[in-house]
Copies of this chain bind each other. A is one copy, B any other.
Amino acid sequence: VGAVSMATTKSSTRGLPSGIIPALTTPLTADGRLDEAGLEAVIERAVADGVDGLLVLGSSGEVAALDAETRRRTVDVALRASDERVPVVAGVVGTDISATRAAIRDLAGAGIDAVLVAPPAYGPLSQDGLIRFYESVVPERIPMLGYHIPAFTGSRIEPATAALLARSGCLAGIKDSNRDLEYLQQVVMAGADAPGQWNVYVGTDSLILPALLLGADGAITLAAGIAPRWPVELVRHYREGRMPEAVRAQEMLTRLILALRKGAFPAGAKAALELQGVAGRTLAGPREALSDAEVHALREELVGLGVPSVAEQESK
């Protein structure tokens, strides 16, 4: 996968694209309901900027904290707004198998192109437990990505486990948010005997370029929703062999994601969207949005980095 992906653009199925997939936040109104116009605006900008797919209901989308109704409407709005221009992936986080299975079935029914499924929250699973879990919830008609995020779930999906789930066709790839590129290389190799597609995505904005170099098919990341053109151009530079430009693009993205790391996750990204006039900064309860002072400080940093559309914030 590695060296080849540099020279050629993979032909991808509808379900799992190569390249940049912003992990979208879920814009909320001040009283906590889905801000549909905000979500549409975020999606419209990302598609216009050339992203290869969209993720809704990921960790960045506060999936675990949203109620069922908000999750359902988020999917509906995302599918309508993307309008089949790019594939839409949806995240699933849960604790029990039957609810996870039902959520996946509903997403497939609604028209989602692929699901990104985290191991059950609340206590780690053994590797055998992870295998049984993914085999128990695998959807029939759309691909499923495993989500490696041990900081949130307690469970590590070991490379040997990924290899087994690749060979059986249960998983179509892995998103790795553990910031460990040695692991990423191992899960890239884990797909060697996969019968079909095996896509590995890095989940960290600061590591997109090195991950591509090591064989990742793309990135599913937060900052890609704030300045979508930046990672899109990074990938283009990389694929067309302009490495110095790719390095500079990576450096900008790294600075951006460091600036966004403020308050409760993903408060910085939501505040950035507010500064861009795209959507409000409200977080799903019980987490709290950045304060006015924090937003002001963030604004200075984003202006310094040249993030597009960051305007003077109105006082509240």
Contact = CB atoms under 8 A, between A and B. Distances in A.
Interface of A: 2-4, 6-7, 59, 64-68, 93-99, 118, 120-123, 125-126, 128-133, 136, 151-154, 179-182, 185-186, 204, 206-207, 209-211, 213-215, 241, 243-245, 247-248, 250-251, 254, 258, 264-265, 284-288
B93 A122 contact: yes
B182 A129 contact: no
12 contacts: A2-B247, A4-B244, A120-B286, A123-B151, A125-B286, A133-B285, A152-B154, A181-B210, A213-B247, A214-B250, A215-B247, A241-B243
Given A99-B67, A122-B121, A250-B214, A132 B244 contact: no
Given A65-B97, A118-B122, A126-B287, 9 more contacts: A64-B96, A64-B120, A68-B99, A93-B122, A94-B95, A129-B288, A182-B254, A209-B214, A213-B213
SS class, residues of chain A in contact with chain B: helix
A281 B265 CA distance: 40
A95 B96 contact: no
Contact of A284 (B96, B99, B247): B96
B152 A181 contact: no
Contacts of A2: 247-248, 251
Number of copies: 4
A136 B286 contact: yes
A29 B83 CA distance: 46
Nearest to A257: B182
B244 A96 contact: no
Nearest to A250: B214
Residue among A94, A99, A123, A133 facing the most chain B CB atoms (10 A cut-off): A123
Given A93-B95, A286-B133, A288-B128, A244 B122 contact: no
B206 A182 contact: yes
A209 B123 CA distance: 27
B123 A59 contact: yes
B265 A123 contact: yes
Contacts of A132: 285-286, 288
B95 A286 contact: no
A131 B97 CA distance: 30
B129 A64 contact: no
Contacts of A287: 125-126, 129
Contacts of A264: 125-126, 129
Given A132-B285, A154-B152, A254-B185, A121 B207 contact: no
A129 B286 contact: yes
